[in-house]
A = this chain, B = another copy of it.
Amino acid sequence: MRKVPGSTVSRLSVYLRLLDDSGTQGVATVSSVELARRAGTTAAQVRKDLSFFGTFGKRGRGYSVAELSAALRSILGLERGWRVALVGAGQIGRALLGYEDFRRRGFVIEAVFDADPRKVGQRCNGLEVQAAERLEVVLAGGIDIAILAVPVAAAQQVAERVVSTGVRAILNFAPVPLRLPADVALKTVNMALELESLSYALASAPSARAARREE
């Protein structure tokens, strides 16, 4: 298989969510034009994205919602449940624990850790917060994905401890670039960075409102 762009993989997730919506509405087929319109991309992009993985449509008819949905689930590895651990039970960590979207997609958070002794033993969404010292032993027990919601100062070190247990996928919420071996899949969600991109957009292409305020 050709190398698949990361942007293609992200769009497959979007397509899948859209299909699940319309799937519940009983629509049988969907065209690349319709999918593109809803996903905010182009029909050619939809077809090219899918073409990396095979042929899923019927010429002249479009895609079966049920079949394409199943195919995307398989491609994305969502047919099985992944075992997830959350490191850091601060405000963001606790919000993630209650995030229904994760569970709905088969990502089950099985363990929570925090370095603060006052948090250890507390219950969050049915899980008891465990001491950070127990990270290694619990993760080695078969966790697939670790979510890091720890302070910047701790992130690199915690990530290395996580990787040492054999975990090969990390979702990082600390706003710092992590340096990890190439065989570890890493995604960083940097919310302050996204706000700064918006700031750049406002500052460099001032809207009528911004211009008014500058006066």
Contact = CB atoms under 8 A, between A and B. Distances in A.
B177 A40 contact: yes
Nearest to A142: B213
Interface residues of A, number: 67
Given A13-B197, A189-B194, 11 more contacts: A10-B197, A13-B196, A14-B177, A82-B195, A91-B94, A101-B192, A105-B192, A107-B192, A107-B195, A169-B199, A187-B197
Interface of A: 6, 9-10, 12-14, 16-17, 38-40, 75-78, 82, 84, 91-92, 94-96, 98-99, 101-102, 105, 107, 142, 144-145, 166-171, 175-179, 183, 185, 187, 189-205, 207-210, 213
5 contacts: A82-B199, A95-B95, A101-B192, A105-B195, A189-B191
